[in-house]
Amino acid sequence: MKNITRTVWILSLVSLFTDTASEMLYPILPIYLKTIGFSIVLIGILEGLAEATAGLSKGYFGKLSDTAGRRVPFVQVGYTISAISKPMMAIFVFPLWIFLARTLDRFGKGIRTGARDAILSGEATPATRGEVFGFHRSMDTLGAALGPALALVYLYFYPEDYKTLFFIAFIPGMLAVLVALLLKEKPVTNPQHKAATPFFSFLKYWQTGPAAYRQLVTGLLLFTLFNSSDVFLLLQAKQSGFDDTMVIGVYIFYNLVYALLAYPIGILADKMGLKATFIAGLALFAMVYFGMSFNTNLYLFFGLFFLYGVYAAATEGISKAWISNITAPQDTATAIGTYSGLQSICALAASSLTGLLWYQFGSFTALFAIGLITLLVIGYFLTVPDPRKTLA
């Protein structure tokens, strides 16, 4: 682990604590909202607004970080806002307050994402970025496994005591903030130092960035447009006979597989190529969706979720490493922030589209169609230049 620097360790621990807090609440948030009077429609509007806020702010604050030539303040402020938002959800139950708290949580994510990923990129070389981003994803996803597990244990002893969980989640959230204070600012190469940064100025990077960036991000967004929420896979498992505990259990299992494999797959990607690793991940994704559409065997679901964890380990950190390798260091936060922002918007559309297909034609059609479209996306990625050739 010689390529994992002190800064990478700090950011990885911060992400671990933050994801523990966030994922502790993820399984119970819809249930809690229904107990305080939110309808399904209102929950959908809340989540849509929150994700749209995160999506648009990722691009803006990524651009602002590059313009200011600073990273650490964006990371620290972003994680602090997200931590504070957790107990706010339980203090008052007024709809406007809940909307404010949930939107603040996502706004904090938008502030920190571009700057954090730019720091990770700066701590690596083109030959080690798969490893660095993979290690960060491993730690981040370990939190995504710990959070639901802690929630499951707590609710076993205190059934339906959802409010207390929001206060418990504040603890790992504040630990993340304290660890983030250990970060030290490093000078950004050729900072832009412009006087003002209009909110949508990050979109200009689509024209000014490298052609290789546009080719890559076009493929990534096309995939995202049909990559629906994990909730649909969990719903398929539920419909096939899993009880609530098993649904949460298989979700924890998936995150553990992802957490354990993201780092070694990142190392492998640096050796065999980011493009080849990413395409292999997409092939596994297609296999999972084809399998989910046909499968009714409960044991086989664990095998499919295992492959789903391998897919995530082979794509999520790898895509950011790929972007970092084809963009200039002074534009990294803008490049990743722009991609992450557009990705959030496409993800909203993907879940809406999958939900519509599911409602009109059933789960088989929705899941099988996603598998077929993924094969087309793989065909597109075969035409995208290898980042190693781009670097050369």
* pLDDT classification of 178: cutoffs 50, 70, 90: very high
* pLDDT classification of 155: cutoffs 50, 70, 90: confident
Kindly tell me the sign of the dihedral angle through the C-alpha atoms of 109, 59, 349, 145: negative
**Which residue, chain included where needed, has tokens 């990722």?**
58
pLDDT mean over 326-350:
85
pLDDT mean over 319-348:
87
pLDDT at residue 44, rounded to an integer: 60
pLDDT at 40 over 60: no
* pLDDT classification of 192: cutoffs 50, 70, 90: low
* pLDDT classification of 392: cutoffs 50, 70, 90: very low
* Residue 382 token pair: 């075969």
Which tens digits make up the pLDDT trace of 79-104? 999 999 989 888 877 878 888 888 88
322 or 33, higher pLDDT: 322
**Which residue, chain included where needed, has tokens 């100025």?**
201
Out of 99-108, 195-204, 254-263, pick the least confident.
Answer: 195-204
Helix or strand run (H / E) with residue 116:
helix 95-122
217 or 91, higher pLDDT: 217
**204/229 Cα distance (integer angstroms):** 29
Three-state DSSP class for residue 296: coil
* Residue 330 token pair: 């002074």
- Cα–Cα nearest to 117, from 132, 138, 128: 132
Q: Which amino acid is at 225?
A: L
The reported pTM is: 0.85
- Is residue 104 within 8 Å of 81, Cβ to Cβ? yes
pLDDT at 105 over 50: yes
Q: Exposed, middle or buried: residue 158 (CB in 10 Å: 0-12, 13-18, 19+)?
A: exposed
- Is residue 13 within 8 Å of 70, Cβ to Cβ? no
Percent of the chain with pLDDT over 70: 92
pLDDT at 231 over 80: no
CATH of domain 6-183+208-391: 1.20.1250.20
Out of 90-94, 336-340, 387-391, pick the least confident.
Answer: 387-391
Neighbours of 321 (CB within 10 A): 28
CA dihedral 321, 326, 330, 333 (to 10 degrees): -40
* pLDDT classification of 298: cutoffs 50, 70, 90: confident
pLDDT mean over 355-368:
87
List, as own/partner pairs, every contact residues 184-189 make where C-beta atoms lie below 8 angstroms and the sequence separation is at least 24, other chains included.
184/7, 184/72, 185/70, 185/71, 185/72, 185/73, 186/71, 186/119, 186/122, 187/69, 188/66, 188/69, 188/70, 188/71, 188/118, 188/329, 188/330, 189/328, 189/329, 189/330
pLDDT mean over 236-245:
79
**193/251 Cα distance (integer angstroms):** 44
pLDDT at 173 over 60: yes
**172/297 Cα distance (integer angstroms):** 37
206 or 288, higher pLDDT: 288
* pLDDT classification of 151: cutoffs 50, 70, 90: confident
* pLDDT classification of 196: cutoffs 50, 70, 90: low
268 or 33, higher pLDDT: 268
Helix axes 316-325, 95-122, angle to 10 degrees: 50
* pLDDT classification of 328: cutoffs 50, 70, 90: confident
pLDDT at 191 over 70: no
